[in-house]
Amino acid sequence: MQFIDLQEQQSVVKEQLMANIAGVLAHGKYINGPEVAKLEQTLAGYVGTKFALGCASGTDALLMSLMAHGITKGDAIFTTPFTFIATAEVISLLGATPVFVDIHPDTFNMDTEKLIQSIEKVIKNGEYKPKGIIPVDIFGQPADYDEINDIAGRYNLFVLEDAAQSFGARYKGRRAGSLTHAAATSFFPAKPLGCYGDGGMVFTDDEEFYDRLVSIRIHGKGRDKYDNVRIGLNGRLDTMQAAVLLAKFTVFENELKKRQIAAEYYSDALNSICRCPYVKEHNVSAWAQYSIMHEKRDKIAESLKAKNIPTAIYYPKPLHLQQAFSYLGYRKGDFKVSEQVSERIISLPMHPYLKSEVQNEISDAVRQALS
Ligand SMILES: *Cc1c(COP(=O)(O)O)cnc(C)c1O
């Protein structure tokens, strides 16, 4: 059994995939080939933003966005400790300071009340200048953007949506990626829309911001790549990966529906024995993960492993307790909700091609582990 079955998906898109790859091999434009622009146009249209910029990874999409905002030493960026390290790592890379805000126990997304408290505290302390917020759409569910955008407006901060897990999700009818000033997504193979390597994208309506990103993506280019007007990096999306994504995107909408059905099927089977994912009424999750909570999480993992059912723990250690961030001076107990969720969360196999018989087998195994 696969945790995420990419082989099954490949067989569904095989013909288009092979045609697209053959197309790239034929024209040979491996860097900045026409597939990149076509993908950017297609996905900007899908998400509902004016601009989309292909990047080498989701991490680069976040990093380049912060660079385009001019983030540097002395700046404070607010995010949650219950996320993949990339979200906060890019803040530190630029010399700025990640300020963690605990998550809401229902959705595991940023707690907006605590966000306000945290911003006030940083202002009062005066050591760092609050500049921006990176909410994470954890497991595929958008954060509370109306509240977050409102708070950002009050304190004059930018918002950068970490949509690495939520491509395809909806918030009040609008797609993840279009919910705030800019968004970064990832095409890592295991994400809802994944390529066959690394890839990412930034979405925005802000033309000046987009122009800066175009420059940053190619070593801070000005008129051309040998005219360098700022410090940038090599942050391009490969043409080959764009070709793969164009093929996979043809079945993406259908896959989202299948994920939704699989998630509901799990919840019906497991609701009475563990805490199943809570998705707000105005949200549609992209179901990057289907994660349940139970005090006997380790027992579930062990028991399923013995039956060759793969599980995963996202995330076993919140970021404020990671050695890499020890210099920030946080301690155990600082973000209690994140800590508690890290101790109880476990993710079950989730992908569009999950059959109900397999889900029955998984649910039965969870039930047996807890009996
Ligand atoms: C995967 C992920 C990233 C990083 O994306 P990469 O493409 O692996 O660099 C950033 N943030 C979150 C929340 C992620 O899940």
Distances (CA, A) of 246 to 135, 142, 242, 292, 334: 27, 24, 6, 32, 43
Cα distance between residue 311 and residue 359, in whole Å: 13
- Position 359 scores a pLDDT of 97
DSSP 234-258: B-PPPHHHHHHHHHHHTTHHHHHHH
**170 half-sphere exposure, CB direction, 13 A CA radius:** 11
pLDDT of 21 above 90: yes
Q: What is the pLDDT of residues 162-211, one digit of tens each?
A: 999 999 999 999 999 999 999 999 999 999 999 999 999 999 999 999 99
The pTM of the full predicted model, rounded to 2 decimals, is 0.98
Mean pLDDT of 323-336: 98
Q: What H or E segment, with its residue span, contains residue 76? A: strand 75-79
pLDDT of 337 above 90: yes
Q: Please enumerate in sequence order all residues whose Cβ is within 8 A of that of 328, keeping only pairs 6 or more positions apart, or say none.
A: 97, 98, 100, 320
Contact 344, 295 (CB under 8 A): yes
Is 185 strand, coil or helix?
strand
Ligand 1 centroid distance, CA of 6 (Å): 18
Q: What is the pLDDT of residues 50-104, one digit of tens each?
A: 999 999 999 999 999 999 999 999 999 999 999 999 999 999 999 999 999 999 9
- Position 327 scores a pLDDT of 98
Q: Which of 137, 191, 198 is nearest to 169 (CA)?
A: 137
Q: Is 153 exposed, middle or buried (0-12, 13-18, 19+ CB in 10 A)?
A: exposed
Q: What is the pLDDT of residues 124-153, one digit of tens each?
A: 999 999 999 999 999 999 999 999 999 999
Q: How confident is the model at residue 225 (pLDDT cuts 50, 70, 90)?
A: confident
- Position 224 scores a pLDDT of 86
- Tokens 């295991």, residue? 190
The CB of 57 under 6 Å from ligand 1? The reply is: yes
From the CA of 138, give the closest atom in ligand 1. 13
The CB of 83 under 6 Å from ligand 1? The reply is: yes
The CB of 198 under 6 Å from ligand 1? The reply is: yes
The CB of 239 under 6 Å from ligand 1? The reply is: no
For ligand 1, atom 2, which residue shows the shortest CA distance?
164
Ligand 1 centroid distance, CA of 58 (Å): 5
Mean pLDDT of 340-355: 98
pLDDT of 154 above 90: yes
